[in-house]
Amino acid sequence: MTTLTSKYGPWGVIAGGSDGVGAAFAHALAARGMNVVLVARRAPVLAAFADEVRARHGVEVRTVVLDLAGAQAMADLERATADLEIGLFVYNAGGDDSSAAFLDKDLHTHLNLVHRNCASVLEAAYRFGAPMVARGRGAMVLVTSGAAWAGGAMLAAYGATKAFDLILAEGLWAEWHTSGVEVLGLVLGATDTPSMHRVLDPVGGHAGDLADPDDVAREALDHLADGPTWIFGQKTATSGSPFGAMSRRDAVLMMSRGKAGRATTS
């Protein structure tokens, strides 16, 4: 029988793997017998979560504390995992937990977001994708968002980074899927995570029905080979933008209407 580890390799990495969607991926990988490397900034939260994964699934768990917005993050992560065969890489961290107009955020915050959501994602694909392609097996999941479909008010930088992730995943899929390496750009809508609640709760906001992160992770693992793009929660998950043939302007106005009055990370 083909298993996750027999198909891709013994270890998975989850960049942003201590809560929310990343934690759900950690449980989902471990439940299928894969050892996991979990990356996050808050060391105590990460250590407690790693213990939970070990206790529940009996797999090996390695933790790496680092800031994915840092210039050396991916080089450090590569060094910290150099002795492992990484068969599956999930680049999960990417939420923007402070919704505001473009000029109401300081430039440093924008640049950090771009580094974590674009430069480090590209570097992860380069550093961890290369050995997968050389081995002829592996999988990468780049978690993106419905914010990638069009620009929107209060989302300018976040949406742009998520569009980068979507297009990067599609291009990598085009190059790698014939060499045994799957790439999935996983598009999420509003999902029930601590990050989402950090945005919504202080302003009493709501984002309609929230997806369950466990469902997200399970479905993504079941469809690793159905790339390049998987739209969670959409009737046909392999279809295109929900804006369809709408003009770019109308899509932007529609995206902005949903965002201008409320805070959300989706």
Ligand X SMILES: NC(=O)c1ccc[n+]([C@@H]2O[C@H](COP(=O)([O-])OP(=O)(O)OC[C@H]3O[C@@H](n4cnc5c(N)ncnc54)[C@H](OP(=O)(O)O)[C@@H]3O)[C@@H](O)[C@H]2O)c1
Going by C-alpha positions, the residue among 12, 64, 8 that lies closest to residue 34 is 12
Select the residue interacting with ligand X from 116, 166, 228, 229 (CB under 6 A). Answer: 116
Q: What character string, x for contact with ligand X (CB under 6 A) and - otherwise, covers 8-37?
A: --------xxxxxxx---------------
Select the residue interacting with ligand X from 99, 193, 220, 224 (CB under 6 A). Answer: 193
| 3-state SS assignment for residue 170 | helix
Does residue 42 interact with ligand X by CB under 6 A?
yes
Residues 6 or more apart whose Cβ sits within 8 Å of residue 96: 113, 155, 157, 158, 265
Select the residue interacting with ligand X from 93, 166, 181, 252 (CB under 6 A). Answer: 93
Q: Nearest approach, Cβ of 158 to ligand X (angstroms)?
A: 8
Does residue 69 interact with ligand X by CB under 6 A?
yes
Q: Do the beta carbons of residue 197 and residue 263 sit within 8 Å? A: no
Q: Do the beta carbons of residue 165 and residue 208 sit within 8 Å? A: no
Rounded alpha-carbon distances, angstroms, from residue 172 to 129, 139, 158, 245 = 9, 11, 21, 25
Does residue 195 interact with ligand X by CB under 6 A?
yes
| CB nearer to ligand X: pick between 196 and 251 | 196
Instruction: List residues binding ligand X (CB under 6 A).
Output: 16-22, 39-42, 45, 67-69, 92-95, 116, 143, 145, 188-191, 193, 195-196, 265-266
